[in-house]
Structure 1
Amino acid sequence: MVGYKVDYYIFTDRPGDVPNVTLAEGRRVRVLKVPSSNRWQEISARRMEMIQTTIESTIRGHADYIFCLDVDSKFHAHFGVEALGRLVATIHPGYYATERGSLPYERRPESRAYIPFGEGDFYYGGAVFGGLLEDVRTMAEICRRNFEADAANGIEAAWQEESHLNRYFTYNKPSKLLSPEYLWQDVAGRSKHVKIIRFSGVAKNYADFRPN
């Protein structure tokens, strides 16, 4: 987003580990402390709650758009205003060539994230999504409520908040769809289908930092 005002909100349970970085004019970082957990699944699932409450308490009135990105990732190439839209989803890099019937949606009807066979378009990645502030807030609130309803019934969707995100986008179509070049995975290497990698999750050993 070169040439535009950008605020970075970093959610972490270890704010003291966030380094001080000198940024260009019109850019700032805000570090927000969030609770840790003994389960990475719970950390993942709380994302929608954090997004909703932060928009309502902190960001509203200060931004037009918001993008929600996984922190363990890296920018490799231009990621600009061409990505902006009312509601923006990104095709998951692991499933862009997968037939619809084999996509890893939540298939249990008792879950609020349920997507029946024969429905759905793509499998959307939870590591990059965004849009206009109020549209993202509405989406986050609905995903949060559905997650909490599942939790009250003792259900955890197959891929936590990503499953609820896919449910939402299935029945509330995104206005813009980004290709996997905006959400790649370094461990996957290069692909003949993806010529430019713009944003990618870095290779890592999950056992080093996941609590379970």
Structure 2
Amino acid sequence: MRTLQSCMGCQYRKLLGLLLFYIIASVISWHLIKLISRMALYGECPVNATWVREISELLERPSCNLDEPQKNKMLAHCKITMDPNSQTVRMMRSLPVLTPWLAPIIWEGTFDTKLLNSQFKPDLQVGLTVFAVKKYVQFLQNFLLSAEEHFMVGRKVHYYIFTDQPKKIPTIPLHHGRSAHILEIPAHQPWQEISMYRMEALSMMAKHRFYNEVQYLVCVDVDMVFNDHVGVEILGELVATLHPGYFTMPRYSLPYEHRPSSLAYISPAEGDFYYMGAIFAGTVAQIYQLTYACNRAIIADKSKGIEAVWHDESHLNRYLVRHKPTKVLSPEYMWDVYMLHGDLLKKKRFLAVTKDHEEIRS
């Protein structure tokens, strides 16, 4: 009897051991399959048990709580491109579609154009502001022609053209319901002054004119061309655009203003993304608040002999630290052919014109 019980105990132990082995193997397999099945590339990483475990744990943590130094230590050796013939694990580098405060990040495939159009009234009025001053006036014709082809097609659009040379503004045939308004401004000598003056001019016009004529404003640079559909998906209360040169970079490497003496200062503990000054949008009220705040900060800095590292763009980023955008545009909406990682974009909707910056700014 005692021998029979011993044998039965052995059988139970064997069965228990097999069950535990099966559970452990299943868990390990599930983690490996999940790891390898991430199809978007973060880099070319050799198969290594330690790296598989560390990177797997990294990807499971919420992106807004990542420890940036640890993340970059783990992935610093990975390349953006990979040799398809090499024996490597393809790591996932997902392009974010939500900010940590749950604002959408707009990429191709994240929105339904037909559905969005149905949510905006047919009589919606959109303002597109652009500054064509000094030598930059030469870019205006191609800018307007491309906007007529791709920007808010079928919608009512007001082109607000700020210029110091109204006689040089080209006459472009516009579609029904679209109009151009020439707003004369004084010419400032240094290009940085022109860039920063934009905030003052926009805040004044938003307060005294724009609110009577349009519901939304889209503020862009003139040395650009629309290259693909840009529609109501970019409209929102306050809309910012990821800078194409920094959307893959860790926060600590972003080119914020790092001098506490400037009102554009962003401390190492602050900041989410680095936003481009070449395109931002929002309701007239929100654009007024943004441009007014930035203009006041620029004036205060100037009174102390300070100019932010990236001029009005630095102040824009400071404002957006405290006033989170309700929508963020991906680099599809602001691209330069010289930027890296263009293969990550399905569309390149708004493109910088190739030019000699020194000659144009002189």
The TM-score with structure 1 as length reference comes to 0.96
1:37 offset after TM fit, Å? 2.1
Q: Deviations over 1:85-121 (max 9, x none)?
A: 0000000111111110010000100100000012101
Q: Specify whether residues 202 and 186 from structure 1 end up closer, same or farther in structure 2 by C-alpha distance, changes over 3 A only.
A: farther
Q: Distance in 1 between matches of 2:210 and 2:354?
A: 31
Higher relative contact order (CA 8 A, sep 6+): 1
Say whether the 8 Å CA contact 1:187–1:202 is kept in structure 2: no
- The one-letter code matched in structure 1 to 2:187 is S
Is 1:148–2:299 an aligned residue pair? Answer: yes
2:87 matched residue in structure 1:
none
- The one-letter code matched in structure 1 to 2:246 is Y
Is 1:111–2:265 an aligned residue pair? Answer: no
1:170 matched residue in structure 2:
321
Indicate which of 18, 24, 42 corresponds to 2:193. Answer: 42
1:120 matched residue in structure 2:
271
Is 1:82–2:233 an aligned residue pair? Answer: yes
Q: Which runs of at least 4 in structure 1 moved beyond 6 Å after TM superposition?
A: none
Q: Name the one with the larger helix percent.
A: 2
User: Mind listing any 5+ residue stretches in structure 1 that lack a counterpart?
Assistant: none
Q: Distance in 2 between matches of 1:189 and 1:167?
A: 25
Say whether the 8 Å CA contact 1:187–1:203 is kept in structure 2: no
Q: Distance in 1 between matches of 2:182 and 2:337?
A: 26
1:84 offset after TM fit, Å? 0.6
Taking only the aligned residue pairs, the percentage that are identical comes to 47
Indicate which of 136, 147, 169 corresponds to 2:287. Answer: 136
Q: Secondary structure at the match of 1:167?
A: helix
1:57 offset after TM fit, Å? 2.3
Q: Secondary structure at the match of 2:344?
A: coil
The TM-score with structure 2 as length reference comes to 0.57
Aligned residue runs from structure 1 range 1-212, under 5 A: 1-188=152-339, 191-211=342-362
- The one-letter code matched in structure 1 to 2:315 is H
User: Rg larger in 1 or in 2?
Assistant: 2
- The one-letter code matched in structure 1 to 2:215 is D
Q: Deviations over 1:16-74 (max 9, x none)?
A: 22110010010001111222222111111111101101112221211100010001100
- The one-letter code matched in structure 2 to 1:149 is A
1:182 offset after TM fit, Å? 0.4
- The one-letter code matched in structure 1 to 2:261 is E
How many pairs does the alignment contain? 211
- The one-letter code matched in structure 2 to 1:184 is W
Q: Secondary structure at the match of 1:207?
A: helix
Q: Distance in 1 between matches of 2:339 and 2:355?
A: 12
- The one-letter code matched in structure 1 to 2:225 is K
Q: Distance in 2 between matches of 1:92 and 1:204?
A: 19
- The one-letter code matched in structure 1 to 2:330 is S
Say whether the 8 Å CA contact 2:238–2:282 is kept in structure 1: yes
Q: Name the one with the larger strand percent.
A: 1
1:189 offset after TM fit, Å? 7.4
1:2 offset after TM fit, Å? 1.5
Q: Specify whether residues 2 and 78 from structure 1 end up closer, same or farther in structure 2 by C-alpha distance, changes over 3 A only.
A: same
Q: Please report the RMSD computed on the Cα atoms of aligned residues, expressed in angstroms.
A: 1.2
- The one-letter code matched in structure 2 to 1:200 is L
Say whether the 8 Å CA contact 1:76–1:197 is kept in structure 2: yes
- The one-letter code matched in structure 1 to 2:199 is M
